[in-house]
Amino acid sequence: MLLPLTRWQRRLSLALVALVVSLGLATAGLAAGGVTAQQVIATFEQSFGVHPGQRRNHIKGSCASGSFVANANARQYSRSPIFSGQPVPVVARFSLAGGNPKAPDTARSPRGLGLQFKPRGAGVVNMALINTPVFGAATPESFHGNLIATRPDPVTGKPDPETVKAFRASHPDTRAQAAFLAANNPVASYTSSSYYSLHAFRFLNSANRSQLVRWAFVPRDGEQRLSDEELKAAPASFLEQRLLDRTQQGPVQWDLVLTLGKPGDVDNDPTVAWPEDRKTVTIGTLTLNAASSQKGGVCEAVVFDPLVLGDGIVATNDPVLQFRSGSYALSYDRRNRGV
């Protein structure tokens, strides 16, 4: 089980969160693609209801902790302190997409992995990943529209198929992720899935050389998905218990695999996959050795804002990536106030 935070650690964590929130709220009202963070959060609340004190998206989750150790390849590409080669403490949160706290673990929706790295003598570095290789929208406006189109009908509890079909037809950027989710059964465990950065970033090394990258955490346990029979028979909630059981058996590991972009590769659209011939390099290992429920856990208060990067990692102008800080901050502000 995870050890509870000490009073000093909790105060420090909340202080860091408060700083992130203050910076995020400063831009939360700014429009991006004609959509504001307030509008997106309001639509989540309209679609899934308001659950006081909880996240608006990826609401159902579990905590884990461990460390990350970079290998010698990492420093070639980035001078970030998380790639020092020394063990870096990590707080992790696994989750299901959406704002339903009782969403079934068999849902054909993305699984999320939030990571907060805490390198010694430096600020935190965040990553927010999901287990589909592409995202479901190229712009905040398209994401918001898709959220409205897939809103559950109050009578059936499911989205209206004709509304979804019409939206997909008019927004081709939403099709690739939807096709992936339809063609691939949900994962059998949080620990048997890859998780992708989705967005492109730029790494800067000690010589200030820039390299366009995307990355994925690839499980050493191997990719495992539910069979059709298992999907039908699985209970509504099993992912957390399997996470707890697996970490009790021993450390769980993922390799951090970097994909190197080339000039001309798309760097501002997370719905577009790069060509499969791009060079990949393994630059480190994530090890998680403890897990718990999120209530009172080490991940409960963490805001996994992917724009909190520190030196050596630079965000691109991807509009979805740039939009995320404001919505994360607004969601945290509301749950922190118990609303």
Q: Confidence class of residue 338 from pLDDT cuts 50, 70 and 90?
A: confident
Report the pLDDT value the prediction gives residue 9, as an integer from 0 to 100: 42
Quickly state the pLDDT bin for 339 (edges 50, 70, 90).
confident
Pick among 3.30.365.10, 2.60.40.10, 3.30.70.2190, 2.40.180.10: CATH of 7-336: 2.40.180.10
**Residue 304, pLDDT score:** 97
Catalytic residue among 58, 144, 171, 199: 58
Is 58 tagged catalytic?
yes
pLDDT reading at 28 higher than 50: no
Band (pLDDT 50/70/90 cuts) for residue 334 is very high
Alpha helices of the chain — where are they, by DSSP H?
7-25, 37-48, 74-77, 140-149, 161-170, 175-183, 228-233, 239-249, 319-336
- pLDDT one-digit tens code per residue, 233-274: 999 999 999 999 999 999 999 999 999 999 999 999 999 999
Instruction: Give tens-digit pLDDT for 276-321.
Output: 999 999 999 999 999 999 999 999 999 999 999 999 999 999 999 9
What pLDDT is attached to residue 156?
A: 85
Cβ count within 10 A of residue 267 = 19
Task: Give residue limits of the domains in the chain.
Answer: 7-336
The predicted pLDDT at position 32 comes to: 42
**pTM score, two decimals?**
0.90
Mean pLDDT, residues 71-83 taken together: 98
Lowest model confidence (mean pLDDT) among 7-16, 194-203, 239-248, 322-331: 7-16
pLDDT score for 22: 43
For the chain, where are the E strands, in sequence order? 61-70, 88-96, 111-117, 125-130, 195-196, 201-204, 210-219, 252-260, 280-293, 313-315
Q: Give the pLDDT mean for 96-105.
A: 96
- Structure confidence at residue 157 as a pLDDT band (50, 70, 90): confident
